[in-house]
Structure 1
């Protein structure tokens, strides 16, 4: 589940091979983290410090310095020693610091500055310049240039000592919540993914996907979707997913007759969806659980239907392209029965993971048990995991985690600055102002910001930064929209009439009665923000508020994935292009079109009850959206049983959009969706006969 750094694609550096001592150290790193997660009682701050020290040394081994050999050895030796020393210093010096009344001495200055410099340098080696430059700008904003910024973003400034204390010793800095997520949830699930891949589960997944879809029209493309989705559900890394499954699926698609750039685009789009597919999603999902204080189980539970919808949209593009090319099903795929009989045991770890999460165990414990089940279940196959395989899987997990660990620690510094300066609230208010209170325009602005950030930041970092800055704005607008609907229906609280008399006297008499949308919106806009928050707590149920908060974060989480497939920086597409033998930008444009579900599905989070609904509402919403997505895909593809003229493309685009965008109740949208589904079936038969 490692993030994109170190993949060796799209300009990111490739990890150097480790010798025997390096592999042994990687195994020790994994063992130390397993002990800390399962049995350790060390305070979280110190545990995060040793997490930094161990993975910093591993990063130095995987991503050595450039230049003459003697200078490389000296530089890397100093960095490794400095990382270990600052980790030990954090453990040894914290009590003494508080005994002095949080007054720095010379060693505190050196330790804090050294740790920050090392994490920025290692983030540069693994992700490029963007993350450390943003970190440096954030830190200097606090102590140097913040007072000189005009307007709302001006900041009076803090002393360098205060900044270093909060960044190094504080519980919200580089060893704060983001670091805790890194050494607990993220590490454990990356390690689980490494064990699953090493056990042979990856090969089984591809075989299962080919058996399930190989005989369908456009089967190799459907195999790529199923294989990448299933592989992503256990690894959570889009680029690694592209490389590992693409070497099989892209040649299959090319052999079946798909154009190479389309084959690469399908694989890139499908692999991007792997980070959206439970039970193992990208590292951002664990950050989301921390930000929202919503359990990881609930997050993955509500993410199943959206992920299926995303893969459905990719599948529609594949089927339309197969129909356009006149491709016929292949007959060489192995039946699904024998594949399941040979590899059914690979499903046991995923079942154990899901079952333990449902029964209420922590994700860390569930992942640990799933690792044990992976090893045990491998003995039901012809290639059981022996000690060498277990050690190799442990080393693979540590190597995959190293770039992500440095990334998250560095991003923790940025998040700390956002919190201590209040710039997040300022940005959120400005975002709402720029959008004029329009939720749709806010989503467009966030999507643009996500695309720009994604050009330089890995997906997880992009999500963390955007969630910190813009999630409150999206959540606030969603709450306001629900409050307007509640006021229109006559909802009220005992205090609302008094507030209305002061803020909007002309509307006070309507409180508790049915209002028009304009009246309800005017009354709500007249109330101060803190009063609106109180009103929301009184009129809306806590589960609904929690689901809207989750929906706001899911929107950003989904939009942050677009950098994988959107030129000019599209890591998944570029990796797929290298396998397909096509131009990266052409493959990127193809992937960007095929991955339109990244923009369409989030609309259902905010405008339809796909996440916020109760009972059967999420399922009904998902089924309702399928004809709409099919119509929109046909409009974009320009083909639906036959080539579509411009007017037909426009009509299909409008009809599909009308099902998704807000204008009526859920059941009115369902009725329109049913009409659209019938219309598509009739239109398909009509075009088929004409052709």
Structure 2
């Protein structure tokens, strides 16, 4: 992503105006959502041309960017005044409608190019022209008869599902408010407190600087929701700290990149994708962040295991010269008040937008309990920082909204979902692997949020459908039935009618479901599966995609976080990228618990038991991958540990059988570690 140009005084004043306008729109205004999204586009379009100018030549910059800024605001104003007239004349576009819609689309494509690169606007242009130009030319399942340019422009500009539709609404409400909250927290000094707290809490551990990076990046990410920003803000402290402690530079950069990526998985702020997920699934944001805590902790645990193993391998010892924890908490406890207020308001049932607004006020008030209270210039700076950080995201989300609109109006999403299921042969694991590969390819060009939106639109129904089908098979095998099921079975599989209501075999259950049409299977699921379980399975399907979409931060050849960390660590970007990819294996392991174990779908203590049994499994898998656990591991032992770790995650037996295997594996790992601890200390391994 290109770096924004520093703003002058007038630019800062405009950025603050944009922030205030959005605060007003979220807290007090009663604008229709379409018009509000239009002004969101216009204001951030102007800010984008200030931050990402067209040319370094002053007169050329003024000519081009002045035209774009004026046209963007004109398109927003036109939308406000022209919508009623459009419907009064029967949704027939006149010349001015054509011009306004075309200009708005071209501007968002250009500004998305400036802020995120070529990939997003090129994909958007291909999607738009697919509707009108080349859709009829595509053979096979993806052939589309085509629509007129007039219909495309209407649905893209005036339509409630277009560039100013649900994705734009998420942008100007949830995403903006939480980015603004993060800017206020950073300006108030909360970022420095988080790093100090992490160092005090983990600095005395073996490999403490690496654990500090994990804690600091996780806590910082929980308030910023941006992986790359997390990397550069915490990495300038943690990476040199790890290098001085003795960690290899590429490993230090990899740890920071992997930990910062986890910041987008850590509640209460999980990046823009979490708000999009809430809109897609109609599941409350509170419920999403509530079930995301345990998975996020498991991810950070996997990163921590790699750190501890590497620290043991190179013979690092704890650092005794670390500030005690309690004085750090005493000095900065007030920085926790905004997060507590945010969590309390969400739990109390207030909307995320309202909760974020109150948390901003609490941030300002809490800063007055510190030696450096936020004064007017700090508040102005925080508002400006929030608007500047939001500008690329706003253009990205509006542009992606055009792609999502095309997917919906052409039915490509349903077609892709059916093809995905066909390619995987009905296997949930193969489907997840295919989605992971698609995520990796999309991540080479798309930011994380855009990658999630595209993949969720295309493949979430496939994952959800396979999860529901697996649960239906289990339900039928347990003898569950409905009157409608017997009637349907009489039509499509009469030989199985007598088995319904009894303990059906797995083969019979699969045969019966395969014979039923998709819409009947869906209705059957509503009758046989508890609504709460269906909701949790839908959320699990989206969380799988959300997690897999994060891999573009740490996976070569495009690994934004790893490359940012490499620049700080002074290492080769690709080496750091591969180190980060290895350390961030939790991105692929934890989602398996979403679909094969009750980490998301469980009730009562089941999620906690699942998390606890995953600890030895992930430890064993990390040791097998690293080839070291308290001592070098032979190849047969690595294979054995890998099989044991995978067995705990795999879909076999009951949860308690998995827990028993996990307990046995944990005991074996503990014995292995203790035996090595009794041996004489070895000389530290050279990392030069």
Q: How does 1:100-499 map to 2 (within 5 A)?
A: 100-499=89-488
Shift of 1:19: 0.2
Aligned-pair RMSD on alpha carbons? 0.8
Q: Any idea what the Cα deviations from partners look like across 1:402-433, whole Å, max 9, x if unmatched?
A: 00000000000000000000000000000000
Deviation, structure 1 residue 683? 2.4
CA distance in 1, matches of 2:286, 2:249: 39
1:88 equivalent to 2:77? Answer yes
Is 2:601 aligned against 1:612?
Answer: yes
- Between the aligned partners of 1:567 and 1:69, the Cα distance in structure 2 is 38
Number of positions where the alignment pairs a residue of Structure 1 with one of Structure 2? 680
d(CA) in 1 for partners of 2:678, 2:300: 29
2:686 corresponding residue in structure 1: none
Aligned residue for 2:267, secondary structure, equals coil
Matches of 1:687 and 1:496 in 2, distance apart? Answer: 60
How far off its partner does 1:684 sit? 2.4
Of 4, 10, 14, which residue of structure 2 is paired with 1:15?
4
Q: Within the alignment, does 1:555 sit opposite 2:547 as a pair? A: no
- Against the structure 1 CA distance between its residues 336 and 689, is the aligned structure 2 distance closer, same or farther, given a 3 Å change threshold? closer
- TM-score computed with the length of structure 2 as normaliser: 0.98
Structure 1 Cα separation of the partners of residues 577 and 33 of structure 2: 42
Distance in 2 (alpha carbons) for counterparts of 1:598 and 1:138: 29
Q: Does 1:520 align with 2:509?
A: yes
In structure 2, distance between residues paired with 1:683 and 1:660: 22
Structure 2 runs not aligned, ≥5 long:
681-688
1:690 Cα offset (Å): 6.7
Helix, strand or coil at the partner of 1:495: helix
Deviations 1:302-345 (A, max 9, x none): 00000000000000000000000110000121001000000000
Residue 612 of structure 1: SS of its match in structure 2?
coil
Query: Do 1:610 and 1:619's aligned partners in 2 also have CA atoms closer than 8 Å?
Result: yes
Q: TM-score, normalised by structure 1?
A: 0.98
Following TM superposition, by how much is the alpha carbon of 1:688 offset from its aligned partner in structure 2, in angstroms?
4.6
Give the 3-state SS of the residue equivalent to 2:136 in structure 1: helix
1:604-662: per-residue Cα shift (whole Å, max 9, x none)?
A: 00000000001111011000100000000000010011111111110000000000010
Task: Give secondary structure in 1 for the equivalent of 2:135.
Answer: helix
* Residue-by-residue CA offset, 1:530-583 (whole Å, 9 max, x unaligned): 110010000001110000000000000000000000000000000000000000
1: CA distance, partners of 2:494 / 2:636: 50
Question: How far apart are residue 227 of structure 1 and its match?
Answer: 0.1
Tell me how far apart the structure 2 counterparts of residues 519 and 210 of structure 1 sit (CA, whole Å).
58
Structure 1 residue 525 displacement after superposition: 1.1
Matching residue within 609, 616, 636 for 1:647: 636
**Residue matched to 2:684:** none
Compute the displacement of 1:687 (Å): 4.4
Q: Give the distance between the partners of 2:331 and 2:669, measured in 1 at CA.
A: 40
Distance in 2, matches of 1:641 and 1:673, equals 19
Q: How does 1:29-40 map to 2 (within 5 A)?
A: 29-40=18-29
Partner Cα separation in structure 1 for residue 121 and residue 554 of structure 2:
24
Structure 1: 5+ residue runs without aligned partners? 1-11
Displacement of 1:396: 0.4
Deviations 1:250-294 (A, max 9, x none): 000000000000000000000000000000111000000000000
- Partner residue of 2:489? 500
**Distance in 2 separating the partners of 1:659 and 1:96:** 62
Deviations 1:165-198 (A, max 9, x none): 0000000000000000000000000000000000
* Cα shift at 1:72: 2.0
- How many Å separate the matches in 1 of 2:259 and 2:333? 24
